């Protein structure tokens, strides 16, 4: 794998510092947010409609703007990362270098596999980057599931790139386990752009996750996160024009024997 240094620290500096100030009293929180001044000079409440602001204000970055449930097992949150961050992640992923994705066996890239998927991926492993992403999505994640505690995002992250004509057919998401018993119960897809045609994401719920088979169609939206249970089947339609960029992460939960309320 190619190596690259993702310059995420300066990107996150503003929102990370504000993260710790958002949990005071409501009056104090409003007062602190009111003092925040964007570099473009925009004034509240239209400070970001000019399109030139480098960052979203902290309350938008850390809390998001809209949460939409598709079922008890899948939802989306918009505006979790800024446009500047999306652009930087795309560029940094290209610097890492994309390679053809494969299903388990790197030597088995056959015509059969290309019918299932033919996208590109770049794998990046970084604990600090995973922690920063966790700070963004954690307010929406179930704190406990199946008697297990949410502990964070796995440090192995995958950038996915779908070029024109590429897709990922219906598939289960991989099980990720640590030696201490922690494993992934949720998958999160961070959509980094939307300047492409096609590429609709779909989730298929089967019993026992749904009383009857249900398909959810989600149109990718830049800055949005799609979170769903690992057991749900997922697919990405063929990209007709342009390139689709996605950052995929796994939400880890504590071992099964962990005590929960």
Confidence of residue 69 (pLDDT cuts 50, 70, 90): confident
Right CATH for 58-253 from 2.130.10.10, 2.60.120.620, 1.10.10.10, 3.40.50.10540: 2.60.120.620
Token pair belonging to 123 = 């794998």
- Judge contact between 153 and 251, C-beta under 8 A: yes
Q: So what's the pLDDT on residue 42?
A: 46
Stated length of the chain? 261
3-class secondary structure per residue, 70-101: EECCEEEECCCCCHHHHHHHHHHHHHHCCEEC
Q: pLDDT band at residue 66, thresholds of 50, 70 and 90?
A: low
In the chain, the DSSP E strands lie at 67-71, 74-77, 99-100, 120-125, 144-145, 148-153, 156-162, 168-171, 183-191, 197-198, 201-205, 214-218, 225-229, 233-236, 239-241, 244-253
Q: How many CA atoms lie within 13 A of 72 on its CB side?
A: 6
- Dist CA 53 CA 56 (whole Å): 7
Over residues 2-18, mean pLDDT: 41
Report field, pTM of the whole predicted structure over 0.75: no
Residue 8 confidence class, pLDDT cut points 50, 70, 90: very low
149-153: which pairs have CB atoms within 8 A and are 24 or more residues apart?
149/253, 149/254, 149/258, 149/260, 150/251, 150/252, 150/253, 150/254, 151/182, 151/252, 151/253, 151/254, 152/251, 152/252, 153/188, 153/249, 153/250, 153/251, 153/252
Q: What is the average per-residue pLDDT within 171-175?
A: 86
How is the chain split into domains, by residue range? 58-253
**Mean pLDDT value across the chain:** 76
> Do the strands 156-162 and 244-253 form a parallel or antiparallel pair, or are they unpaired?
antiparallel
Residues 15/62, Cβ–Cβ less than 8 Å: yes
């Amino acid at each position: 794998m190619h190596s690259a240094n993702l310059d995420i620290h300066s990107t996150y500096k503003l929102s990370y510092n504000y993260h710790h100030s958002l949990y005071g009293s409501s009056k104090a929180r409003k007062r602190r947010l009111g003092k925040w001044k964007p570099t473009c000079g925009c004034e509240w409440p239209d400070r970001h409609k000019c399109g030139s602001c480098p960052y979203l204000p902290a309350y938008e970055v850390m809390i998001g703007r809209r949460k939409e449930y598709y079922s008890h097992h899948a939802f989306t949150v918009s505006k979790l990362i800024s446009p500047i961050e999306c652009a930087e992640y795309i560029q940094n992923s290209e610097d890492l270098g994309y390679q053809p994705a494969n299903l388990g066996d790197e030597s088995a890239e056959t015509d059969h596999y290309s019918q299932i998927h033919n996208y590109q991926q770049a794998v990046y492993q970084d604990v600090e980057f995973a922690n920063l992403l966790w700070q963004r999505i954690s307010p929406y994640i179930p704190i406990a599931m199946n008697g297990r505690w949410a502990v964070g995002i796995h440090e192995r992250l995958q950038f996915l790139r779908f070029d024109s004509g590429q897709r990922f057919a219906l598939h289960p998401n991989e099980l990720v386990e640590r030696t201490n018993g922690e494993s992934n119960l949720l998958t999160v897809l961070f959509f980094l752009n939307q300047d492409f045609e096609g590429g609709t994401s779909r989730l298929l719920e089967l019993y026992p996750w749904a009383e009857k088979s249900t398909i959810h169609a989600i149109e990718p939206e830049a800055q949005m996160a799609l979170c769903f249970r690992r057991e749900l089947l997922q697919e990405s339609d063929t990209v007709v024009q342009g390139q689709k960029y996605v950052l995929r992460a796994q939400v880890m939960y504590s071992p099964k024997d962990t005590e929960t309320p």
